[in-house]
Chain A
Amino acid sequence: MTMMMASPGSIAFEAEALCLSYPKRFVGETRVLQDLSFQLPEGAVVGLVGRNGAGKSSLLRCLLGLTAPTAGSSRLLGCPSNALTDELRERLGYVAQTPNLFGWLSGHEHLDELGRLYRDFDARRALALATQFDVTMGTRADKLSLGDQQKLSVVLALAHDPDLLLMDEPVASLDPLARRDFMRALFAERSPAKAERPRSVLLSSHLLGDLERVVSHVMFLREGRVQLVDEWDALVENLRLLKLEAKPEAALPGLVHERPVGGGVWHALLDLRRADGIAADRGQVLRMDDLFEELNA
């Protein structure tokens, strides 16, 4: 019954003016990430949400030091992404969008390989997870279905009980029951040595109903920028959608976002914490998919 809390002030995921751009073939550049800054506390379970091409995978790769940013910096548990220490790497689990498996190795053989790499590797934990997820461990990875490959990737990422977990659409190919098991596995009991440490998770997904169950925070990305980042409960309690007959004034207190919806009608997204009581009783509460539409349509 102990409430798991991080030591106050410790930051799990952090970016400062992070930019990533690629030169275009002939002239100009494609801006993938534009001036991203955020700090997310240890123990947070963060949903990374945005349309395809919004920069979610690029952000995850920058945080992991797999892609070098054009400008700015990022840190994982205080450790700069471009100089992750071995100690930090041992505390890290990553599930890439395309399962990162060795096609010629079976699940069991993958576990053997990982066991040599990670000191905290726990074969029993991994096998229990594989059973829970119903992954066929004896088959070559390239003979598994995409769903089974994803499940195996998740098992491998969780096998050393990482403090930090970054996942890029880990459950896109899983059925609803397997996704429930996946969510349970995120919060499974930790090994005794780490029991007091909360795990921090950053996962991108389009399955917003799933995210609503598990996230503590949500970060909305659009065209390489952070649109909104906050605690999810706070957003549910404080964001309200108002339907207006005209374009809202820019000075409307608490205005977060606006968009025309046709017929002269405008949608205004207000934050009650800053709205001076305006929308308190006539605004509409937004679930994550409604909010996604408001922010991206």
Chain B
Amino acid sequence: MHMDFNISPQDTLPIYRQIVEQLRRGIAGGQCRPGDELPSVRALAQLHAINPMTVSKAYSLLEAEGLLERRRGVGMVVASTQPLRAGKGERLALLQPALQAAAAQAVQLGLDEQAALRLFQQCLQEETNK
């Protein structure tokens, strides 16, 4: 599995939560499939120049939730027991916080609904064309 983590110390989420949320989205969206191997704690920490304990913390949380499992000799893998893809409702719920924040900003900027929705559509198109 190839998973690009986007780690930013400037984010309002602590780094371990950024890893947790990105993996959660990757698994819910089917980008990470059951049995996919995750990068080792050390490799991910060295790649992003972050503390390995931060990566450990993220993996352990997802393991406790049953999304990841520890496999001998391999390391951490996406758990085999979960549905291939989370239901639509669940995936929408994962998207909600980001959109809520965007909505708050749109209101602050005094943008009308049409303009904001058009912009979101444009962003969606850019992502699907990537």
Contact = CB atoms under 8 A, between A and B. Distances in A.
Interface stretch (A17-25, A153-161, A213-221, A260-268): A213-221
The 10 A-B pairs with the shortest beta carbon distances in the complex, nearest first, are A212-B9, A285-B12, A233-B14, A183-B49, A1-B75, A236-B14, A180-B49, A3-B56, A213-B50, A214-B51
Contacts of A232: 14
A213 B54 CA distance: 9
Given A209-B10, A233-B54, A287-B9, 9 more contacts: A1-B75, A45-B51, A45-B53, A183-B49, A213-B50, A215-B51, A237-B14, A237-B17, A285-B12
Contacts, number: 62
B92 to A, nearest CB: 21
Interface stretch (B22-30, B38-46, B78-86): B38-46
A187 B52 contact: yes
A265 to B, nearest CB: 18
Interface string A33-74: 000000000010100000000000000000000000000000
Interface of B: 9-10, 12-17, 40-42, 45-46, 48-54, 56-57, 60, 70, 75-76
Interface residues of A, number: 25
A254 B53 CA distance: 28
13 contacts: A45-B51, A187-B42, A187-B51, A189-B42, A209-B9, A213-B15, A214-B49, A216-B53, A232-B14, A233-B15, A233-B57, A236-B12, A237-B17
A184 B46 contact: yes
Contacts of B56: 3-4
A233 to B, nearest CB: 4
Interface in A168-219: 180, 183-184, 187-189, 198, 209, 212-216
A190 to B, nearest CB: 11
Contacts of A236: 12-14
A214 B50 contact: yes
A149 to B, nearest CB: 22
A76 B48 CA distance: 30
Interface of A: 1, 3-4, 43, 45, 180, 183-184, 187-189, 198, 209, 212-216, 232-233, 236-237, 285, 287-288
Nearest to A3: B56
B39 to A, nearest CB: 10
A11 B50 CA distance: 23
Contacts of B70: 1
A218 to B, nearest CB: 12
Nearest to B52: A187
Given A1-B76, A3-B60, A213 B10 contact: no
Nearest to B45: A187
Given A232-B14, A233-B16, A213 B53 contact: no
B17 to A, nearest CB: 8
A212 B9 CA distance: 6
A213 B48 contact: yes
B28 to A, nearest CB: 22
Nearest to B71: A1
A1 B41 CA distance: 6
A43 B40 contact: no
A243 B2 CA distance: 43
A184 B40 contact: no
A184 B47 CA distance: 8
A1 B49 contact: no
Contacts of B40: 1
A122 B15 CA distance: 33
